[in-house]
A and B are shown apart, each in its own frame.
Chain A
Amino acid sequence: MKITDACVFPFPAGDSSVRRFALEARSLGYDSIVAVDITAGTISGVDIIPGMILGGIPAKDVQGRAKKNRGTGTVLSVQVGDNGFNRAVAGTSGVHILRGIATADKLAFDHVAAKIAADNSTALDIDLSPLIFGRGHLRQKAIHRYLDLMVLHRRFEFPLTISSSACSVLGLRAVREAAGLCSLFGMDESDVQEGFAGVSRVIGSNKETVRVV
């Protein structure tokens, strides 16, 4: 089972090169990282999975981009929006991860969207950066959203991913530290393991859907 950080932002978006990210990720216990706008490869024994994030565009455009992205090996993440958008995107083939649930509206991700995500193997991302860098209301809101998400996850069993969304190697956290942070909203060890393996699960599930009958 691979341990993957589902989103990091290397240089030029961040201040750390992808090689440095790989070096630090290995020392912190990761096998692979999803790096935004970076080509695939293996550096210092860590698999670099290219990632793409879409946000602020209509669901129809997301579907078009997902179609273009199919078969490229890029992990496509979409920033959550309102409830209708999330339902549409969660059911879009080729969308791997919905992210940004920590800052979304309370009703943005409901049981219907959760069912659609589970049916389509679309993962929900647990972003640790609001817990690490946020204080006060921002962090409380994130913990509340994640608590709610875990209730839906236990009921519908959609995939989860865990990301640091780090722009710097200082934003990365060790696997054990991430597990500790996830325990704040009720994730146990098996949930955390599942979350770290979530990226390989969603990539694998999309491969299976392409079948010639």
Chain B
Amino acid sequence: MSIRPPTLREKKRYVLARIDPAGITPDPKDLYYAVYEAVVSLFGDMAAAAMQPSVLAVEKGCVILRCRRGAEREFAIALSTLSGCRETPLALRVLAVSGTIESLRERIAELASRKDPEGGPGDVVLPPAEGLCEPSQYRFGSEPVDIIVWDGRKVDALEKGFKNARRLFLTTEDLEIIHATTISDGL
């Protein structure tokens, strides 16, 4: 089948969305199924067929999606009902809609280069590097936690324990350093 001339092609729109929580990179195929399920469950098969949703790329914590031109608003609504991908809870935050993938890639590069302006240490001593950290000596409340992602002021941690190993969404101000104020008996 020959490629249609530009005037006869269907017009598309490309949607850039950030993947929350940070540090999760879902498989594009799994994400496509999740997005398609969200569209179909909200608008039905007819609207999904007209919308033609698809996932083009997952890169640097963002995802580039595609839909037919004119359906981007409904597509964004359907994306806001997405709450997980293969048992992994996540949310897609729509950042931009464009007519070309290239401009969205530029936007991703811009986002990656930009740091959180308020990503200061505050009252607690932070590890020097952001991103994935080793299990450390922090606690939240009375429970010790393992830091898994450190992104500016945002900290994602795992509760330590056999039963409750849920992911906690915290900030640097929520964390305390274990034994930070311990004074030896000799003093």
Contact = CB atoms under 8 A, between A and B. Distances in A.
Contact of B170 (A17, A136, A171): A17
Interface string A161-187: 000000011111110111011011000
A170 B20 contact: yes
B41 interface: yes
Contact of B41 (A136, A176, A177): A136
B169 A169 contact: yes
A132 B82 CA distance: 7
Contact of A180 (B20, B77, B90, B140): B77
Contact of A15 (B91, B94, B169): B169
Given A17-B168, A17-B170, A174 B93 contact: yes
Interface residues of A, number: 30
Contacts of B120: none
B74 to A, nearest CB: 8
A106 to B, nearest CB: 22
B98 interface: no
A19 B170 contact: yes
B76 interface: yes
A72 B175 CA distance: 29
Contacts of B154: 20, 23
B86 interface: no
B89 A19 contact: no
Interface string B80-106: 110100000111011000000000000
Interface string B16-47: 00001100000000000000000001100000
Contact of B171 (A19, A168, A181): A19
A211 interface: no
B80 A17 contact: no
Contacts of B83: 132-133, 170-171
B130 interface: no
Interface string A17-40: 101100110001000000000000
Nearest to A179: B77
Given A23-B171, A131-B81, A170-B83, A177 B90 contact: no
A20 B171 contact: yes
A180 B80 contact: yes
Nearest to B164: A15
A20 B89 contact: no
Contacts of B94: 174, 176-177
Given A19-B174, A181-B80, A170 B21 contact: yes
A177 B76 contact: yes
Contacts of B167: 15
Closest 4 CB pairs of A and B: A16-B169, A177-B80, A180-B77, A19-B171
A47 B89 CA distance: 27
A168 B77 contact: no
Contact of B81 (A15, A28, A132, A174): A132
